[in-house]
Amino acid sequence: MLAAAAADFESPLFWAVFIGWVLSVVLHEFAHGLVAYLGGDYTIRERGGLTLNPLQYVDPVMSIILPMVFLAMGGIPLPGGVTYVRTDLLRSRLWATAVSAAGPLMNLLLFIGLALPLNSRLGWVPATLPVAEWTPAQKLVGALAFLQLFSVLLNLVPVPPLDGFNMIAPYLARDTREKLTRGPAAFGLLFMFFLLFRSKRVILFAYDLMRPVAELLGVPFSDLVQALRSALLGHT
């Protein structure tokens, strides 16, 4: 679990995972920007939204406040990012949905690229080798694979301001959309993270959704969990 113990900030492997995560966030946000540009938001290039510079996607809430909340709750302070899109310039509601879907799709592609080398049939990680005996590189790949798959699941939850909500938002009535993104409803994201950090039942439900996706690629999901714990928390 992501909040099972204090992060091992002294571990080089922790910082390797942290950097890898930041790079994946950049690619996630870049995917949003690229599809937005193709869909009609010509201003995004002028605003620097088509770049691989992490600073372009820094957001006070997702990049600073939420990681601090995660750390205070005993979790891992992994930052997020935001791409600002002129939805009024997009050609259709379908393009607006595609813009929101592009980020999770990027994470899914990254997961596939990271998970496939862990398939024992490819020979890099023997099937009988326990995670405790994996090399640092193997643990790094396993941890990042877990985080990408978790990011796909998390972003598809229809809670504002996550991509899952933004995918359906164009089809909601304007007043309904505004009610769901303002006032008490805006705290839905914090409540969801609270459940993930504090409710074993919720995190196990998330794992049940992620497990078949990993095993579809021939990778035991338990190995990804152990790789994450080893890389971020310093133990398996």
Catalytic center residues: 29
Reference 142, options 76, 225, 211, 206; nearest CA is 225
Write the Ramachandran bin of 124: left for phi over 0, alpha for psi from -120 to 50, otherwise beta.
alpha
Alpha helices in the chain (DSSP H): 12-38, 43-46, 66-72, 93-115, 136-155, 163-168, 174-181, 188-198, 200-216, 221-228
Q: Residue 228 phi/psi, 5° resolution? A: -65, -45
In contact, 2 and 76? CB cutoff 8 Å: yes
Q: Decide: helix, strand or coil at residue 156.
A: coil
Report the amino acid identity of residue 207: Y
Cα within 13 Å of Cα(161), Cβ side: 11
Q: Decide: helix, strand or coil at residue 222.
A: helix
